[in-house]
Copies of this chain bind each other. A is one copy, B any other.
Amino acid sequence: MRRISGAVRLVGGVALAVLAGTALAAAQDARAAIEAVNKEFMAAVIRGDAAGLAALYTTTAQALPQGGDFAKGPAAIRAVMQGALDAGIKQLVLTTLEVETHGDTAHEVGAFTAKGKDGAVLDQGKYVVVWKKEGGRWKLHRDIWNSSQPPKQ
């Protein structure tokens, strides 16, 4: 009996370890996938491609830009992105600091540096993105950021 219950415990333990391993692998996959989308985001900024940026968001996404109101949906988000490009942003460096996954939803905490002509740093700050899997791809669903630089007086 002890041997059997020991075996059951062992099998149960292995099953739990496999489940935990699967969950860990899924979380690592999500982080890798999200970082890959961020690379696409950075590439689209370099191209000056506001439509390409907007395409990385879900169809019901909201961007929450500093200095402006909620931008809801692809057209409004594209306009926010165009505004940032028009303001002189030539490069955006995104650094993922944390990704936590809950099924088809994840949240990311990260830091950004916005650069202008000749690599001049225009702004540095941080962001939180709620990601959703839509059509099998991770997409930005809620996107808020702010500057870490003190405001102009």
A contact set with B: CB distance below 8 Å:
62, 64-70, 100, 102-103, 105, 107, 109, 126-128, 130, 142, 144-153
A127 CB to nearest B CB, Å: 7
Number of this chain's copies in the complex: 2
Write 10 A-B pairs (CB below 8 A) sorted by A numbering: A65-B146, A66-B66, A66-B146, A66-B151, A68-B150, A100-B105, A102-B103, A128-B128, A144-B144, A144-B145
CA–CA, A136 and B109, complex, Å: 24
Residues of B close to A130: CB separation below 8 A: 100, 107, 128
Contact between chains at B109 and A142 (CB < 8 Å): yes
CA–CA, A67 and B149, complex, Å: 5
Residues of B close to A66: CB separation below 8 A: 66, 146-147, 151
Contact partner, A67, options B68, B102, B127, B147, Cβ 8 Å: B147
A62 CB to nearest B CB, Å: 7
A122 CB to nearest B CB, Å: 12
Contact between chains at A67 and B100 (CB < 8 Å): no
Residues of B close to A102: CB separation below 8 A: 102-103, 105
Residues of B close to A153: CB separation below 8 A: 152
CA–CA, A62 and B153, complex, Å: 26
CA–CA, A107 and B107, complex, Å: 9
Q: Which residue of chain B lies nearest to A111 when distances are taken between CB atoms in the complex? A: B70
